[in-house]
Chains A and B, each alone.
Chain A
């Protein structure tokens, strides 16, 4: 049937009798299809807009009927696919009309709202429908046949963008309303202060709860984690990448390649369990115990040992970041044309001089991108922090207790560590998410700009 249509191309004309009417019919069908796609997306997203599904499906059926009548008048041939679509629209309209509002059972442990099914049906009928109407709108040519397939994949990318947009909007909407400057200038505190008072020459000790709402220590902690992780993983990652590309024989290179890939695929929670068992190795009170666990002084000036130090946590996150940077370095090195490397060797430069003055500058954009991805990883890593992070209220130096915004968001919600969770902090979880989003998005944008500039500088492109 497709071939038949293609062998009879129709000249496009906006004014001549039946073609004009065909285009009008196609426009109507296209508009209704697009409305149906939007309605379907909204129905899936909102879980409640199912009331529009039945009238939309009936309108779709009418639109497709008009279209297929005009196609018949033009080609003396019923468009079979359109007929199926009409039938499908009518049947689904009836099915949705008779569905109960909530579906239960059906081997699925849960309740499904009717809008989910109606949304899916709307999409399943409207997406091919929009393809067909676009096809007849463009004038039944081979090119129109290709172009009319655009909705099939444009829809999915649009859906992905919509999902991201909704998430970001949700965070900004909830987070921005709680923004205030005091949040960024004060660290979070929840400690008990021992106050010494004198009564009639006798010391009397009373306790006082010191509470302070703020995310300064978490922001500092995130930046500290990113910095420490970069410091640890950049030299190691770049070296591994260089060894993988330049010095290792095929067997060692293959082993390194496998190791880096395997390291990336390790689940974070396994690393976290490893970290926990490492944390319990040293005896309590020893130097290594304090170093691993992180320490700081509280409001009373007493040494407090936390769950794990920034240094320790960064080491573990580096395990995830080193493979990223190694891969990026290797890719950068192998993207250099071999003639340029040989050209450097041919003027008498040593292998190391070539590496540092030609090959590494060339791969700088790749390395920077890898590093930025690694920083985002460090900022967003949560699976490890479930088990080893703390509040960071005893300071944010490399040896203090780890904390990060990602952990704060988790803690605000489920708060096992803040102990008696401060109710005030709960309202700031979206603000923390917003700050984290700004930091990671900022990193991504910075990475893109730096990559462009570095590529211009070192690749002359």
Chain B
């Protein structure tokens, strides 16, 4: 257990163990000759929300996509180092088994061209998970704060929903295969303030149950929902710590400048 806890995270006893802790050791990612992530060591504590912040092009999304190995789909992408999920190196795992444990919500809402119900049951059917379909749909939609809005039109096309609702549907879809970790890649980037608010509420409600890692450009959002913050700059981890600490007294000057909007 000791290896998964860094100095900035409070130690947890074995009784409190929640699955879903991710530890990254000396991760290097490059596209062809272009190194995007240049050696990162980081621990994402289980059951907490960690926000990854940093200027555009610093490797946030690449880091996130490495965690469920979607980065492999990009031609020419090479990953070196270790990513440990509950102590197991995911780079040696079967990517399909890994993605059952690590769900992902994308920047643009991407529901399947199917009905709302089928969207949620898609993952369940794809990995042949045995569960009660109706109750799964209901619990997932309730957790994503969408049940009340769509309970009467579960068989309608998912494209008929608003973008905000579609994004919450994507969260519900991810929850259906009961992952340990949820990756959120700027989920609120295309949403209006009201939808963003509801989305943030559901992220906060899922805290404790899932390890959540969120990439965001919005400092207020990061401050509101995250427990820990990782500041990436130019492919390197500049600072990692509890949210209050990062916002109140950051160690690095660069972090201070970025948070106050001086570095782009």
Give A residues with C-beta under 8 Å from B.
Answer: 337, 339-340, 342-350, 353, 357-358, 361-362, 458-461
Given contacts A458-B113, A459-B113, contact A346 B104 (CB under 8 A): yes
Closest chain A residue to B156 by CB distance? Answer: A460
In this assembly, does B53 line the interface, its C-beta being within 8 Å of a C-beta of chain A? Answer: no
Choose the segment among B4-12, B95-103, B232-240 that binds chain A (4+ C-beta atoms closer than 8 Å). Answer: B95-103
Scoring B residues 100 to 129 as 1 if CB is less than 8 Å from chain A, else 0, what string do you get? 100110101011111000000011001100
B127 proximity list for chain A (CB < 8 A): 347-349
**Closest beta carbon of chain B to A365's beta carbon, Å:** 11
In this assembly, does B160 line the interface, its C-beta being within 8 Å of a C-beta of chain A? Answer: yes
In this assembly, does B158 line the interface, its C-beta being within 8 Å of a C-beta of chain A? Answer: yes
Give B residues with C-beta under 8 Å from A.
Answer: 68, 70, 73, 96-97, 99-100, 103-104, 106, 108, 110-114, 122-123, 126-127, 157-160, 170, 173-174, 176-177
**Closest beta carbon of chain B to A329's beta carbon, Å:** 17
CB within 8 A of A340: which of B96, B100, B110, B177? B110
Q: Assess whether B159 is in contact with A461, with CB atoms less than 8 Å apart.
A: yes
A345 proximity list for chain B (CB < 8 A): 70, 73, 99
Closest chain A residue to B127 by CB distance? Answer: A348
The answer for the CA separation of A346 and B103 in the assembled complex, in Å, is: 6
Q: Assess whether A350 is in contact with B96, with CB atoms less than 8 Å apart.
A: yes
**Closest beta carbon of chain B to A71's beta carbon, Å:** 55
Closest chain A residue to B73 by CB distance? Answer: A342
Q: Assess whether A346 is in contact with B99, with CB atoms less than 8 Å apart.
A: yes
B122 proximity list for chain A (CB < 8 A): 344, 347, 349, 357
Q: Assess whether A349 is in contact with B126, with CB atoms less than 8 Å apart.
A: yes
A361 proximity list for chain B (CB < 8 A): 113
**Closest beta carbon of chain B to A310's beta carbon, Å:** 38
Given contacts A342-B70, A460-B114, contact A347 B106 (CB under 8 A): no
A-B pairs with lowest CB-CB distance, top 7? A347-B123, A349-B126, A460-B157, A339-B110, A460-B159, A348-B100, A346-B104
Q: Assess whether A347 is in contact with B159, with CB atoms less than 8 Å apart.
A: no
A337 proximity list for chain B (CB < 8 A): 108, 110
Q: Assess whether A347 is in contact with B174, with CB atoms less than 8 Å apart.
A: yes
The answer for the CA separation of A353 and B123 in the assembled complex, in Å, is: 10
The answer for the CA separation of A342 and B103 in the assembled complex, in Å, is: 11
The answer for the CA separation of A344 and B174 in the assembled complex, in Å, is: 10
Q: Assess whether B114 is in contact with A353, with CB atoms less than 8 Å apart.
A: no
Q: Assess whether B126 is in contact with A343, with CB atoms less than 8 Å apart.
A: no
